[in-house]
A and B are shown apart, each in its own frame.
Chain A
């Protein structure tokens, strides 16, 4: 099978996956018990106003009709209108500052975690059984098992409450809204510190333990003995040879968790008032705002599928055997 045919086939498969995912997303949220008009808890709407609203959003039409309207709109790049935010287009809600905020927070958090995990894991694994190893692993186990909202509140309390080093909430200081871009960037990063620490505490321990265990496993292999026998220094073995294995583990983990990049961290974003996709999802679930939940769901599906597609294509480019095996099937 030629490469072009292989890619075409993968594209086709991905399209089908996306279609199935989108269909599931549509029906799943409508099968859920819940009434979007119940979102208006603050004031009891009059029955007439309520019926009007239901009609306006087409909720009185049969489900099948709603589905086809939804598909047609999707092809036009229209994810529908938010029930709660007075008919704001979902695309406008998602693809804006919220997505940027989440990608910055999650991307930076995962990157920092990966960076620290690779080097620390390497060193800890090399010195397995040492005091450093014991402390690091027990702290890691503790951190992975601690509930994330608790860590978030603790950090908020200590750094924002007592020490007053970081702001309690938001992504921007109101006094600096009109300031020059550089000051605003600094302010943004200052607001980022709190949630970023929580995200790093969330990802780092698991990455670290993976890397450490990989390194410990490899240390028993023959080629390490050969390298040592060759008279290579420890540092050379560590950063010349083991580093690659450690990086491979981390890169695999990062690839697996790539959807989190856009779906965000619900709890962290809520605790710190970080105006991202996770917070949007949280508010939308509370208020049964189907179109928004569905939009985030679809975005995540597309990211997963595209990531897989890219991985497949890259693998096929590197390793021709995959192409041929694919052809035989």
Chain B
């Protein structure tokens, strides 16, 4: 009896709870579960996944119509919430707040760069709690709760984390493998301790970049290629070790105040700039104060966090925050905030500073840059950690073509490359004894997202999708098995125990059941589920006032952002004509662009195995010439 009452209470409260949580975001339903599904053709990790996902979801009655779009076309549309659903990848960082923050309702606005939208006051409250708590346990629990809620309720469905696979010449020893992959931008350890020979002059490390770096100005970096180079010349206050823990660097130690708002850093006293001047607290204060004040793109994110930075003495710096931010140290270590010399940079417009001759405190000194071709760095013999780096010279070489890059590694012209080696080339590298394949958790989180802002929001459908996709199968087909299934927005490879232990087993039957219970039933037998309401069973004939469930019906469901037609009819006509013309041009160009990139991708993926291809090519050439000869003779 008591048990029954308890059960009833629990059930009712659960029911109420579920009603409550879903009330936070407005339910928007389409007539049937049919979505235009966008994918980026030149990013195989998400593009091939999109194909597999569309196939798997079709089995449970959700139709995703795959359409390939170029990023420059797709991204603006996504940011303005003019889409239905898409598959893309987003980059991971050791700081979980980047990911978590994007689900705050303040980011649920078109035109500000948000790619997804979730507006739930409860989640907002939890995020605010995370931002200001100082207790580690509360922090972890709150983050878990956020992840769980988002997994069930947001239209953002994580699929997998890529595994980074890089090819390096086998003679190199003693490198560190960190999340993100070998010689990632913040990984200083490999660059310090790596060597291939006992003779220092032979330790020249050559790395191939697909294109030139954009800037040497640490305040305005937007690409990881530039950061990779800057990271060797300049030093940050703190760094991440190989397990992504914050460790001292230019700062030897730090103290955090009771309320978590004041960070006091003690600085190293034995550090010298490359030009011989000593490094002091003035440099740190200058870098942060000016970087934030001049609104440089790299330091702009600190504006909301840091109240002020002040010098206590020559080797002590105090950061006063606007609120107790628990990830401040992680942010300092992973946010690429490099300290610049005040005596050389003071008075410069940091946004326009092109820094042609960088002077830092880091393990390597800048030697020369030939734009579009090379960057050369040499060992800093006065570096403050004695005996390192082992590498005496670093050469960055620009090789635009992926095949040429791989060839250059094979012939020893370079030692490794900046980004992951394409999976098709990895198989070849495995056969070559002079090459080594190094694996690590990758940087890309592949996900699918629905437009919950103005197109579709039904959490039950999202839950069903979690069960309906076979993540290991997707990884196998999309990335040759190099990847880790993901279920929540944070993951153990980047955020350790902050990732919630939540899992959805592949179970299409369960997915179907959830959809049916939520009122999604295929009533017209076209394989796509229509909405009939949760009370109806499949056998009942439909008394719904929408009796024409033709496939074209969904087309009208697309929200058209038309302006109120209060203008004069003539103006409207010209506007319509104008719009049609622009639309036609736009879509034609889109088609051409997509075709071009798809063809290039397919062709290059064919031309991967070198020796047979070369032999085949030569044979084909000879046959062709022979045929031509015979034909002309006749």
Contacts and interface: CB of A to CB of B under 8 A. Distances in A.
Interface in A30-68: 31-36, 38-53, 56
B211 interface: yes
Contacts, number: 181
B369 to A, nearest CB: 10
Nearest to B115: A44
A174 interface: yes
Contacts of A135: 625, 629
Category for how many chain A residues contact B: 35 or more
Interface stretch (A159-167, A243-251, A308-316, A319-327): A159-167
A98 B632 CA distance: 43
Nearest to B624: A142
A168 B399 contact: yes
Contacts of B351: 56
Interface in B278-317: 295, 297, 300-301, 303
B413 A168 contact: yes
A138 B403 contact: no
A150 B607 contact: yes
A220 to B, nearest CB: 19
A134 B113 contact: no
Nearest to B443: A42
B549 interface: no
A161 B217 contact: no
Contacts of A38: 71-72, 75-76
Nearest to B106: A47
A161 B223 contact: no
Contacts of A86: 214-215, 217, 220, 354
B245 interface: no
A205 to B, nearest CB: 12
A4 to B, nearest CB: 43
A153 B397 contact: no
A138 B371 CA distance: 42
Given A38-B71, A270-B400, 16 more contacts: A31-B582, A32-B589, A33-B72, A38-B75, A40-B223, A45-B222, A48-B300, A86-B220, A87-B352, A97-B371, A134-B629, A135-B629, A138-B629, A157-B610, A168-B411, A169-B413
B409 to A, nearest CB: 10
A51 B618 CA distance: 53
A272 B372 CA distance: 13
Interface of A is mostly: helix
B628 interface: yes
Interface in A264-301: 270-273, 275, 279-280, 282-283, 288
Contacts of A270: 400-401
Interface in B397-449: 397-401, 403-404, 407-408, 410-411, 413
A85 interface: yes
A156 interface: yes
A86 B107 CA distance: 27
Given A40-B222, A177-B374, A273 B352 contact: no
B399 A177 contact: no
B625 A161 contact: no
Nearest to A134: B632
29 contacts: A31-B585, A33-B73, A33-B76, A34-B76, A36-B72, A43-B223, A49-B301, A52-B297, A84-B214, A86-B220, A86-B354, A87-B352, A97-B372, A138-B624, A138-B631, A139-B628, A141-B628, A149-B603, A158-B614, A161-B410, A168-B404, A168-B413, A169-B398, A169-B401, A169-B413, A170-B374, A170-B397, A174-B374, A282-B400
B199 interface: no
Nearest to A82: B214
B401 A167 contact: no
A127 to B, nearest CB: 13
Interface in B172-217: 211, 214-215, 217
Nearest to A39: B72
Contacts of B607: 150, 153
